[in-house]
């Protein structure tokens, strides 16, 4: 299976149908696309905001459109949308990013109701700062004291991609068969402070 550019929004449903014709109906799907933008609202450019919303939100909408097609999903299937803790608590300079991630939570709740008759569960995960390329970039331009202060906002320290993947595996599994329309916070205690 070849890589696909999720910014090609209108082509996503057809691409997903092609994938499922090759591999069969999907039991689960994780939308983990994300683009970060840190900028005070007075400096946000419309083109930047549109690109971020296309990557973070609109690609999820179109993936869900594709996944809900007949023969694209198995009965009793599950979708996980990777949101962010900033969609729940907000963060200065990240208004567009926060809005896109909060919108994923609303999307999951609405689709959980809409797709329940088809036995498709839809949930979100809201991680805090995870050791990824985005965090590495942040470390490059933050002064060391600010970076250390950011890590201290996580009582259990920064997370790892595996922490988020384990939560997604749980939500897709049969162990979560009665969970839909919710957001699982995976933040190392960030929101507890």
**Sorting pLDDT into bands at 50, 70 and 90, what band is 66?**
very high
pTM, to two decimals:
0.95
> What is the phi-psi region of residue 127: left when phi exceeds 0, alpha when psi lies from -120 to 50, beta otherwise?
beta
pLDDT per residue as tens digits for the range 70-97: 999 999 999 999 999 999 998 888 999 9
Mean pLDDT of 40-68: 97
The strands making up 73-82's β-sheet, listed across from edge to edge, are: 26-31, 73-82, 120-127, 183-186
- Residues annotated as catalytic (active site), given as ranges: 97
pLDDT in tens, 123-178: 999 999 999 998 999 899 899 999 999 999 999 999 999 999 999 999 999 999 99
Q: What is the mean pLDDT of residues 94-111?
A: 97
- Res. 36 pLDDT band, cuts 50 70 90: confident
**All structural domains of the chain:** 25-187 (3.40.50.720)
Average pLDDT over residues 103-107: 98
SS3 state at 76: strand
């Amino acid at each position: 299976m070849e890589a696909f550019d999720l910014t090609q929004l209108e082509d996503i449903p057809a691409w997903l149908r092609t994938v499922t014709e090759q591999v069969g109906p999907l039991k689960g799907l994780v939308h983990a696309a994300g683009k970060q933008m840190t900028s005070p609202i007075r400096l946000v450019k419309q083109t930047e905001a549109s690109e971020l919303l296309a990557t973070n939100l609109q690609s999820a909408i179109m993936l869900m459109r594709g996944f809900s097609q007949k023969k694209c999903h198995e009965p009793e299937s599950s979708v996980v949308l990777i949101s962010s803790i900033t969609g729940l608590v907000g963060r200065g300079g990240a208004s567009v990013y926060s809005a896109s991630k909060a919108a994923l939570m609303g999307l999951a709740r609405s689709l959980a109701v809409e797709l329940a008759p088809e036995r498709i569960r839809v949930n979100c995960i809201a991680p805090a700062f995870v050791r990824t390329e985005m965090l590495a970039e942040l470390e490059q331009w933050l002064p060391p004291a600010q970076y250390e202060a950011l890590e201290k906002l996580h009582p259990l320290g920064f997370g790892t991609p595996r922490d988020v993947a384990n939560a997604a595996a749980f939500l897709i599994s049969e162990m979560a068969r009665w969970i839909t329309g919710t957001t699982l916070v995976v933040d190392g205690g960030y929101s507890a402070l």
